[in-house]
Structure 1
Amino acid sequence: MDVLVYLIIGCEIGFWVLLAAGLGARYLLHRKRLGLALLASVPVLDVVLLTAAGADLARGGTADTVHGLAAFYLGFSVAFGHSLIRWADVRFAHRFAGGPAPMKPVKGTAPYRRGLWIEYGRVLIALTIAVAVLLAMIQFLAAPGEAAVLWDWIKRAGLVAGIWLVAGPVYGMFERPAQVAAPAKPGVFVPPRERHR
């Protein structure tokens, strides 16, 4: 298996380890500065991955699927990393620090649809970052004749954007809120003996 594959897996594991350690330090050990430092170090993983992918090509490595995967992972990590940290922080605070319970918008409502568009905006940011990294690899690092596989990943970015648009916010525009059964109107209590008279 390519070293970059191991590095991508390591970065993903490292993200969750740093996230758990940072939130644990903040809420369980009550060491806010340590927790903040651990959470702030999460982007370092992205820098390590980007540097490793670029260095691999610069030293003569063949551009292949793994480099495209690394670019996509980097884009989604940057675009979604902060929201994932915030998502976990709310739940950790609720569980261990008496914070408010996390709120989830009801499907079909305006807040739910707005959330789908916000999520899609992050997807576009992720794909923009991935495409920028891929173009930089093509322009500065890939050897002549090796760019085709990286161009294929750029085409995949457009495909992902289209599929996510249709399956996410466009589909969500047609979802309707679940119908909540109205409470029964209070009636007059009739004793069992009176019901048969």
Structure 2
Amino acid sequence: MDLKAGTPASISHGIAAIYISVSIAFGKTMITWADEKFQKWFLKSGQKNEPLTGVKKGKHEMKMLSQHIGAFIIGVGLLYAKSLFVGSNSDTSPLFQIMKY
């Protein structure tokens, strides 16, 4: 809505798309990780996780890669949707500059 009102597109608008896409793709994983760390650090309890090796490590890495690709696809989709929503009224190139990072 900010862009539609005439505000020039900035890198912060692109970062907002990244924030949303990462929250969607990694939300459950991040919450689980934070819960485990809280239990370990503050409650001095929780499970002792053994390091992943072999096939388990490979499966975990593939899962994380698929989440990363999913976040990228969602983010790019949001950036394109923003540029289409704004239309040709303003320069939306800063939205696409964020993809370089």
TM-score of the pair, normalised by structure 1: 0.44
Corresponding residue for residue 129 of structure 1? 74
How far apart are residue 63 of structure 1 and its match? 1.1
Gaps of 5+ in 2: none
1:92 to 12, 18, 38: 38
Gaps of 5+ in 1: 1-54, 161-197
Task: Say whether residues 1:148 and 2:90 are aligned partners.
Answer: no
Task: Say whether residues 1:74 and 2:13 are aligned partners.
Answer: no
Count of aligned pairs between the two proteins = 100
* Structure 2 CA distance for partners of 1:143 and 1:98, relative to 1, 3 Å: same
Kindly provide the amino acid, as one letter, of the partner of residue 102 in structure 1: N
| Sequence identity percentage | 26
Computed over aligned residues only, the root mean square deviation of the Cα atoms, in angstroms, reads 2.3
- After TM superposition, the structure 1 = structure 2 runs for residues 110-189 of structure 1, keeping only pairs within 5 Å, are 110-144=55-89, 146-154=91-99, 156=100
Structure of higher CA gyration radius: 1
Contact 2:6 2:90 in 1 (8 A): no
Bigger RCO of structures 1 and 2 (CA < 8 A, at least 6 apart): 2
* Cα distance in structure 2, aligned partners of 1:77 and 1:140: 22
Task: Say whether residues 1:105 and 2:35 are aligned partners.
Answer: no
Q: Which runs of 4+ in 1 moved over 6 A?
A: none
* Cα distance in structure 2, aligned partners of 1:130 and 1:91: 28
Kindly provide the amino acid, as one letter, of the partner of residue 79 in structure 1: A
TM-score of the pair, normalised by structure 2: 0.79
